[in-house]
Amino acid sequence: MSRRGAKQKDTLPKLPEGALRIVPLGGLGEIGRNMTVFEHAGRLLVVDCGVLFPEEHQPGVDVILPDFTWIRDRLDRIDAIVLTHGHEDHIGGVPYLLNERPDIPLVGSKLTLAFIKAKLKEHHIVPKTIEVREGDRQKLGPFDCEFIAVNHSIPDGLAVAIRTPAGIVLHTGDFKMDQFPLDGRLTDLGSFARLAQEGVALFMVDSTNAEVPGFLASERELSPAIETVFRTCPGRVIVSSFASHVHRIQQILDVAHEHHRKVAFVGRSMVRNMGIARDLGYLTIPKGLVVDLKALDNLPANKVTLICTGSQGEPMAALSRMARRDHPIRITDGDTVLLASSLIPGNENAIYGVINELTRWGANVIHKGNAKVHVSGHASAGELAYCYNIVKPANVLPVHGEWRHLRANADIAIRTGVDPKSVIIGEDGMVIDLVKGHASVAGNVPARLVFVDAMKVGGATEHSLTVRRNLAEEGVVTIVAIVNPDTGKMVEKPDFLAHGFEHDDATFDTAVPVIQRALTKASKEGIDIEQTEELISQAVATWAHRTYRRSPLIIPVIIDA
């Protein structure tokens, strides 16, 4: 089993004639930011371009993008971006890539393209699109792509088989094997088996649920628990879900209709996406069921259902704002809040924080932990093993998952008979060359986290985030010192302006000689003011840690006397 990657190389080896290069720029070692670049005959094909949502230790960041550095000087070689489905972790980065070259064709199913077009409209981009459906084959430059139906937690998901002289690469996208799907759309295992007859050189497989044993329950099995919520709730039912989870929203609408409740959508993305799904026929809404939010004011609480965003504890989403009393909708006793989603790794603290606040205001909160109200959209271990036995791939690259998920997926592949030497546990930026049916690691390319901060791409860095965390956790101390430049001595005792750092009149007394020593050293060495301020910052930071076990941000200001 190959793990991690070859040592970073300044230049990659030349790709042999007929070979295929695979470069994941996101989605390996993380849940999100999915993006893979395929290179053949001097041309590039991109599969998915998603975002990763920030965690608590990344304050101020809006979203996190894949690193486009490796393809930036070759954007003209990209023949298309293939989108497997319409979730943000697979399409959210597209506007930022198209900002660099707007005419790259987008290839996807009807619903996926509708979602991305709506998103691009906000960025003032009108994309070039190619609509495909399951069973279609599309020539995209030198890449012969076949699209295969897969079942997921959003309609119109597609796997893609990429044919080149190097062999067939089968990329599952996100998928599961629900045998009783709400929309009747099964994962097309027949096509997987047909491709196996041709020979699958590389199988790129969704890893998110590789640690979950057995087979997942069907979406239909959730209906009794959802019906119970509506039947027993004395007040309003407030449902929070992903704004793209059309199947779940359909279930909620059906049950609300049965219980004679009116429904309103809350949240811009929820209103937009459900409108798209309705217009395209993916969502069936009984006449008169969905009303404007203001129309609910005249109805008794037990006749009201609200469907909103915020199932992952996103601070600006509708549910989080309700929880902190920052939304026109006020949670009261008798309300039931139904979280119809799973917990994305990294979001647990935010989600449980929202649950606690909702409970504080009197809501009964129903979630996956206390009721059967959600089924994952990703194949579990039993389903993955089933697929490996059907596809019988020559090489395997687990994708879409944290390290533990990738490793679990790799182990499943090996247990089904794949040669351990042909299973690669990759990481973002790893370069994998498929040559004559054999996949091997050829090197690495840049694949850092690219932060979008206040709509500015790359504005925030790991250093600036460290500063923000220090400000939040340790406070800031500004030191204003008036210094005689000839002697290097302070004219008077410096002023200390502290915020977020508990202090009194004597707190900084022992820091004064530390500052003077730094000034004396700077005077002897003849360094400039900027370097002197850095010297003081380091000295006082060391003093603060030794004296108070604290690490505030130190900002020295030297005034020439």
Q: Give the separation between CA 417 and CA 392, rounded to whole angstroms.
A: 8
Which residues are 380's β-sheet partners? Answer: 209
- For residue 443, what pLDDT is reported? 95
Q: Note the pLDDT of residue 374.
A: 75
Distance of CA 538 to the CA centre of its chain: 36
Please state the φ and ψ torsions of residue 272, each to the nearest 5 degrees: -65, -50
420-476 confidence digits (pLDDT tens): 999 999 999 999 999 999 999 999 999 998 888 766 676 666 666 676 666 667 788
Band of the pLDDT at 146, cuts 50, 70, 90?
very high
Domain ranges of the chain: 2-7+19-214+376-457, 219-366, 474-560
Task: Kindly indicate the confidence band of residue 348, based on its pLDDT and cuts at 50, 70 and 90.
Answer: confident
C-beta of residue 90 within 8 angstroms of C-beta of residue 84: yes
Q: What is the pLDDT of residue 455?
A: 62
pLDDT value of position 7: 46
- Name the E strands within 43-114: 43-47, 63-65, 78-82, 106-108
465 phi, psi to nearest 5 deg: -70, -35
Q: Is the predicted pLDDT of residue 489 greater than 90, yes or no?
A: no
Helical pair 381-391 and 403-415, crossing angle rounded to 10 deg:
50
DSSP summary character for residue 561: -
CA dist 31 → 54, 101, 143, 249 (Å): 11, 26, 27, 23
Cα 423 from Cα 437, distance rounded (Å): 13
CB 557 within 8 A of CB 479: yes
pLDDT (tens digit per residue) in 91-110: 999 999 999 999 999 999 99
Q: Name the strand (E) or helix (H) holding 269.
A: helix 268-279
User: Quick one: which of 186, 157, 209, 177 has its CA closest to 400?
Assistant: 209
The average confidence (pLDDT) of the chain is 90
The pair of three-digit structure tokens given for residue 451, joined into one six-digit string:
């932060």
Residues 6 or more apart whose CB falls under 8 angstroms from that of 287 comprise: none
pLDDT at 372: 74
pLDDT in tens, 371-411: 777 788 899 999 999 999 999 999 999 999 999 999 999 99
The structure tokens listed for 148 are: 């295969």
The most confident of 222-226, 323-327, 428-432, by mean pLDDT: 428-432
68 has pLDDT over 80: yes
Mean pLDDT (whole number) for 412-418 = 98
Tell me how far apart the alpha carbons of residues 397 and 439 are, in angstroms, rounded to a whole number. Answer: 9
- Of 368, 402, 371, 408, which Cα lies nearest the Cα of 388? 408
Confidence of residue 56 (pLDDT cuts 50, 70, 90): low
Lowest mean pLDDT among 50-64, 73-87, 119-133, 372-386: 50-64
CB-count burial class (<10 Å; 0-12, 13-18, 19+) for 460: buried
Residue 17: pLDDT above 60? yes
**Residues facing 46 on adjacent strands:** 37, 81
Q: Which fold has domain 2-7+19-214+376-457?
A: Metallo-beta-lactamase; Chain A (3.60.15)
Instruction: Select 474-560's CATH number: 3.30.1280.10, 2.60.40.10, 3.10.20.580, 3.90.1150.10.
Output: 3.10.20.580
Whole-number pLDDT of residue 8: 45
- Alpha-carbon Rg for the chain, nearest whole angstrom, is 28
The proportion of the chain whose per-residue pLDDT surpasses 90, expressed as a percent, equals 65
CATH number of 219-366: 3.40.50.10710
Q: Per mean pLDDT, which range of 59-68, 191-200, 233-242, 468-477 is the poorest?
A: 468-477
Specify whether the CB–CB gap between 50 and 173 falls below 8 A. Answer: no
Please, which pLDDT band fits residue 6 given cuts at 50, 70 and 90?
Answer: very low
Q: Say which residue the tokens 């707190």 belong to.
A: 507
Query: Cα separation of 225 and 400, whole Å?
Result: 30
Q: According to the model, what pLDDT value does residue 5 have?
A: 44
pLDDT computed for residue 522 by the predictor: 87
pLDDT at 59: 61
The predicted structure's pLDDT at residue 168? 98
Lowest mean pLDDT among 4-18, 134-148, 443-457, 468-482: 4-18
Predicted confidence at residue 369, as pLDDT, reads 75
Q: Which is higher by pLDDT, 241 or 455?
A: 241
Report how far apart, in Å, the C-alpha atoms of 219 and of each of 84, 249, 297 are: 21, 12, 32
Could you report the per-residue pLDDT of 264-307, keeping only the tens digit for each?
999 888 999 999 999 999 999 999 999 998 888 889 999 999 99
246-258 helix and 223-232 helix, angle to the nearest 10 degrees: 40
Q: What's the rounded Cα separation, in Å, for the pair 431 and 4?
A: 11
53 or 169, which is more confident?
169
Contact 81, 107 (CB under 8 A): yes
User: Taking a C-beta distance cutoff of 8 angstroms, is the pair 264, 252 a contact?
Assistant: no
Weakest mean pLDDT among 11-15, 66-70, 426-430: 11-15
In the predicted model, what is the mean pLDDT of residues 359-373?
85
Q: How far apart are CA 380 and CA 177, in angstroms?
A: 9
CA dist 455 and 54 (Å) reads 14
d(CA 433, CA 439): 6
CB contact burial 163-177 (16+ within 10 A = b; e otherwise): bbebbbbbbbbbbbb
From CA 11, how far away is CA 25, in angstroms rounded? 17
Average pLDDT of span 196-217: 95
Q: Whole-angstrom Cα distance, residue 416 to residue 82?
A: 29
The residue ranking higher by pLDDT, 60 or 259, is 259
Neighbours of 279 (CB within 10 A): 10
Residue 193: pLDDT above 90? yes
Asked whether 151 and 140 are in contact (CB, 8 A), the reply is no
Predicted confidence at residue 452, as pLDDT, reads: 81
pLDDT in tens, 496-510: 998 888 788 888 999
Of 308 and 551, the one with more pLDDT: 308
**Region label for 60, one of left (φ > 0), alpha (ψ between -120 and 50) or beta (otherwise):** left
- What local confidence, expressed as pLDDT, does residue 9 receive? 47
